[in-house]
């Protein structure tokens, strides 16, 4: 069954966040929108550019009331060193979550069993802990954070306006569609 519209499973992980080690759980991420971004491994090739991409848009995520969580199967110890040694990752002000037990990675179905690493998966989770969008790439193909931002806003808009749906390519501020019997078969 798809993960879409299911609750995030319980987890308890250590993260490096603004110079501190903190615990992150399925409870702690509730209450605001969450963007969970899995990456294969610290210290590798295009992961830092993805972290940097997220860092550069972090102000926009915050403005949208969303928090960002980067996850790898490394420890939070590695994440601290990564933050200190990588010029790109050093910009990150959000959570770098270690998943050495691989439980979180498996719970989001992005674990590569023969490598012990995560696929590039991005998940938008609403404040109730419900997964609303997912996007997973084979690891040689990186993501674009602006598209994640667009989806986040579409998800927030439809959450706030239960009677409407966003048409294709919808961007913040555009018109949405209010479904009605008359529209069936007419668009």
Ranges within 143-162 binding a second copy (CB under 8 A) = 143-147, 150-151, 154-155, 158
Instruction: Say if residues 14 and 98 touch (Cβ distance below 8 Å).
Output: yes
DSSP state of 154: H
Tell me whether residue 47 is one of the annotated catalytic residues: yes
- Given 15, 37, 47, 104, the catalytic residue: 47
C-alpha 56/C-alpha 60 separation (Å) is: 9
The residue whose two tokens read 């959570």 is 95
C-alpha 46/C-alpha 28 separation (Å) is: 29
Instruction: Rule CB under 8 A: say whether 169 interacts with a second copy.
Output: yes
**Minimum CB distance to a second copy smaller for 63 or for 185:** 185
Question: Contacting a second copy (CB under 8 A), which of 63, 140, 160, 173?
Answer: 140
C-alpha 134/C-alpha 117 separation (Å) is: 18
Ranges within 19-78 binding a second copy (CB under 8 A) = 19-21, 41-50, 52-53, 73-75, 77-78
- DSSP H stretches of helix in 86-180: 103-107, 145-160
| Residue span binding a second copy (CB under 8 A) among the ranges 28-36, 59-67, 142-150 | 142-150
C-alpha 133/C-alpha 35 separation (Å) is: 10
Instruction: Rule CB under 8 A: say whether 184 interacts with a second copy.
Output: yes
Binding mask 100-139 for a second copy (x = CB under 8 A): xxx------xxxxxxxxx-x-x----------xxxxxxxx
**Active-site residue set:** 47
């Amino acid at each position: 069954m798809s993960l879409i519209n299911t609750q995030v499973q319980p987890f308890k992980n250590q993260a490096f966040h603004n110079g501190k080690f903190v615990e992150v759980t399925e409870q702690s991420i509730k209450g605001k929108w969450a963007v969970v971004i899995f990456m294969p491994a610290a210290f590798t090739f295009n992961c830092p550019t993805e972290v940097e991409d997220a860092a550069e848009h972090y102000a926009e995520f915050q403005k949208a009331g969303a928090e960002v969580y980067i996850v790898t199967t490394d420890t939070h110890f590695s994440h601290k060193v990564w933050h200190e040694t990588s010029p790109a990752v050093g910009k990150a002000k959000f959570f770098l979550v270690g998943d050495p037990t691989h439980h979180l990675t498996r719970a989001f179905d992005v674990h590569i069993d023969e490598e012990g690493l995560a696929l590039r998966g991005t998940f938008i989770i609403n404040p109730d802990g419900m997964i609303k969008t997912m996007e997973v790439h084979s690891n040689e193909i990186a993501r674009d954070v602006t598209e994640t931002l667009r989806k986040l806003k579409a998800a927030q808009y439809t959450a706030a306006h239960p009677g409407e749906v966003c048409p294709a390519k919808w961007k913040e501020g555009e018109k949405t569609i209010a479904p009605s019997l008359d529209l069936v078969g007419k668009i």
